[in-house]
Amino acid sequence: MIFIKHESRELFIELEDLKQARDELNIKWSELKSQENRLANSVRIEQLAKENLEMHKPNLDSMRIYKKK
């Protein structure tokens, strides 16, 4: 009987540790998803392309638009 109570306590402690680890991973996952959304923002990407790569939007006269038949 004592062994079972001891094992039960150990398993409970392990379960609580795993729950805490799960919660920490969920928080980290949320932070990473938020960071991914921020980094993938089209306005940010366009700004970086202009600043770092000296890219710009072409004017309408230099564009060719093709329609799919």
pLDDT one-digit tens code per residue, 12-66? 999 999 999 999 999 999 999 999 999 999 999 999 999 999 998 888 888 888 8
The confidence score (pLDDT) of residue 60 equals: 87
The confidence score (pLDDT) of residue 1 equals: 74
Angle, vertex CA 31, rays to CA 14 and CA 33, nearest 5: 110
Task: HSE, CB side, 13 Å, CA atoms: give it for residue 41.
Answer: 10
Structure tokens of 3? 């062994």
The confidence score (pLDDT) of residue 4 equals: 82
